[in-house]
Structures are given as structure tokens and as C-alpha cells.
Amino acid sequence: MELGIYTFGDLVRNVKTGKTATAQERMNQMLEMARLADDAGLDILGVGEHHGLRYVNSATATTLAAMAAVTKRLRLTSATTLLSTADPVRTFQEFATADLISNGRVELIFGRGAFTDNFPLFGFDTNDYDALFIEKLMLFEKLNANERVTWKGKFRPALYDAEIAPRPSQPKLPVWIGAGSPGSVSRAAALGYPVVIPVLGSTLPNYAHIASIYRQAWLQSGRAEESMKLAVFSHLHISESKHAFQEFYPYYSAYLEPLFRQAMPMDQYRHMCSSHGSLFAASPQEVVDKIMYVKEHLGAVRYVGQIDVGGQSFSDVMKGIETFAAKVAPVVR
């Protein structure tokens, strides 16, 4: 099972110190996280995309290229790339370039996104939310497979025997689909894509049900079960402190405050941290138990945790990565 971390580069005020990292500080931290994850033996690091002032990363391929330059073996993925409002040709070029810099370690996760602030920013209509994603996904598939492409669609100028360069180091860029609803996982399976399920809210048994729908759709499409790949991404806090549950609450509440418009209800936080809750915030053994649950009940071959949530001190984040690599990964493997 592959294990790793991901980050959105959130710029959230530290509730204990009252300070918020600058964009420069946050980007430097993300590069340090990549170095440590690589040195500690984790398998993968993801970088998420947002387009607001609360986050530092909106150009994922650039960030992954920088991480590639300071790592040796770590696989690097977007988490996710909002393809609906991107140009597939330029997206392919950027990630192919990052793949060359990394010597073939770059992947993509495509998703429609939980937020729509990127639509007006790039001049797209939210009424085309689904149609944009499908058309651009199909175009990217052609770009990924062919050096020259002829194509015509609704949302982008046509291509006529266009040279698609540069080509990546890998024969093709690996592409996953981020999906969390029955309809979206069924479509990913029908199209033959591995799927990433974001475990954010709800309960692990509910996500196991979503995974079973994906598996059924995959088999109904005539594909072999052993070729199916499913990954789980979740928020992650890992600590050997006896007070880890209480210590993480103010940071997690601050991170989710824009959604709740107030402090996160403690009952909800406690439910999310329970044995079948979606928040992987606990001791090393409890995190091991949850990862084994998603492996056994969801069939996950990869677990990736967002470990730098909510303006925590960077020293605590780095300690969490070290603990994940030293106390969780060996047991799971």
C-alpha cells in the first residue's frame, strides 16, 4: 500500500500565536515537507489547487516541478487539478514539463472541484460545470496518448494535426479521477480511470459503500478486478501526545470556520475522530487502524493525508510527517 501526504498550502492564522505565515513562508514550508517526506521514505506527495487568498498554491505543475528538483524518489501528484476551467493543452504541457524535471514521477488527479470560485475567474459558466469537465477530460486523454492531435469540441478552439509537446518522461502521464458520489465514481469506472475518494465528512462505512459502487461499475465495464485502483485522501493529524485530540481541535476548527461560519461543534469533531469517523486525527496506532479499514473495506491501494491543516506550527507539522513515516508506515506495510 502506498502512503503519503498532501497539502493545499492554506494560509490560516495560528490560533495559539496569532500569526499567519506569509505566502513566501508557506511555499518554503511546502518544499521542506517534500524533502522530509522523500528522506523519510513516504511514497507520494500531493499538492491541491485553490484560487483564493487563503491558499498559496494555484499553479500546481510549477510547485510540483520545484518539489521534483529537491527530491529523488517521491511521486508527485496534483490533488486535484480543476480541469473544467483549465486549458487541457496547456495543462498537459505544464505537467509534462514537471514530469521531465522529476525524471518521470508526476501524476494528475482531475476533479470538478467542491468550489466554483474558479469559474468566474477564468470566464466559464457554472451551468456548464459537468459538460466542461467531460469534454476537457476526453481531450486530455488524446493529448496524453498522441504526439499529434486533431480534435474539435464546444469549449475550446479546434486542433488540426497539432504537435503536442513536450512529451513527458513517462510513456503517458498517470491520471486519476477525484470522485465521491455514486454517479461520479460510476462514470470514472466506466471510463477506465483509477479513482481518488476524498474522505471528508460522513463515515468510513458510507465511503465503503461508495467504493463498492465503483468496484461494481468497474467489473460491469468488463475490466479485471486486479487492474482497479482506488486511493483515499483525508485530513490527517498524528501525535503521540496524550492530549492529541484536544490539541488539534482549535486548528481544525479554524480551518473549517469558513464552512461553519463559527467554531466547529465539538460533538461533530468527536464524531469525526471516532473509530469509523472520517478524520484521521489520533495516535499512530489509531491511524494505522483507520488506514487498514480503508484498505480492507474500500480496497484502497493508496492512502494520502493532508497533514498541515489549520495554521499549526511548522515544527509540529514536520514532527507529524516523521511520526507518520516512522510509526505508521512500517506497521501498515
Domain boundaries, the chain: 2-326
Residue 107 in grid coordinates: 501524476
Count H helices and E strands in the chain, helices first: 12, 12
pLDDT < 70 stretches in the chain: 114
Distance, in Å, from the CA atom of 20 to the CA atom of 251, rounded to the nearest integer, reads 12
Q: Which residues of 278-296 are buried (b: 16+ CB within 10 A; e: fewer)?
A: bbbbbbbebbbebbebbbe
pLDDT at residue number 90: 98
Is the domain spanning 2-326 CATH 3.20.20.30? The answer is: yes
Q: For residue 263, what pLDDT is reported?
A: 85
Nearest alpha carbon to residue 198 among 213, 187, 185, 189: 185
> What's the CA gap between 331 and 59, in Å, rounded?
35
Cis omega (within 30 of 0) on the bond before 166? yes
pLDDT at 228: 97
Residue 266's contacts (CB-CB under 8 Å, 6 or more residues apart) are 249
Q: Which three cell numbers stand for residue 16?
A: 495559539
Instruction: Name which of 106, 2, 10 is nearest 49 in CA terms.
Output: 10
- The pTM assigned to this predicted structure is 0.96
Q: pLDDT digits over 22-52, tens only?
A: 999 999 999 999 999 999 999 999 999 999 9
* 284-298 helix and 204-220 helix, angle to the nearest 10 degrees: 30
> Which of 84, 43, 92, 34 minimizes the C-alpha distance to 63?
34
Among candidates 43, 94, 77, which has minimal Cα distance to 291? 43
Compute, in degrees rounded to 10, the torsion defined by CA atoms 276, 277, 281, 283. Answer: -20
pLDDT at 36: 98
Cα dihedral 65, 67, 73, 77 sign: negative
What pLDDT, in 10s, does the model give residues 303-328?
A: 999 999 999 999 999 999 999 999 99
Joined together, the cell numbers standing for residue 295 give: 484498505
